[in-house]
Homo-oligomer: A and B are copies of this chain.
Amino acid sequence: MIEAQIYKALGDPVRLQIITRLAAGSPYTIGELSKNLGISRQGARKQLQVLVSANLVHLSQKGRETEVVLDTDKLTIAKQFITNIEQQWDLRLQALKDFVENNPTKK
């Protein structure tokens, strides 16, 4: 279950907020991104690091600033996992339905 780390990284409101902002309005610097999250800059930086470690974003140094860039590959993997689960589940429900239809309760 490699996906666990990705979901874990997504499993925090501050981090989801960061992802949302990045998708909407990059490029962002660490400093900008750390504002208005309700926590300190260093607090925000730690959350950002979780996203970096999960490869959901990457950083690129620009002079004294650091640009934060969204990386959608891992998001796609996470989405694919859910799609697969849903698909298997639907197959099962369909199989169950077929079974019921072919084996009517005797009156």
Contact = CB atoms under 8 A, between A and B. Distances in A.
Interface string A71-107: 0100110110111011011001000000000000000
Q: Give the size category of A's interface with B.
A: 35 or more
A102 to B, nearest CB: 19
A85 B78 CA distance: 12
A46 interface: no
Given A11-B7, A11-B8, A82-B75, A1 B17 contact: yes
A33 to B, nearest CB: 15
Contact of A82 (B8, B11, B78, B89): B78
B8 A4 contact: no
A44 interface: no
A79 B88 CA distance: 15
Contact of A79 (B3, B23, B70, B82): B82
Contacts of A23: 85-86, 88-89, 92
A10 interface: yes
Contacts of A79: 79, 82-83, 86
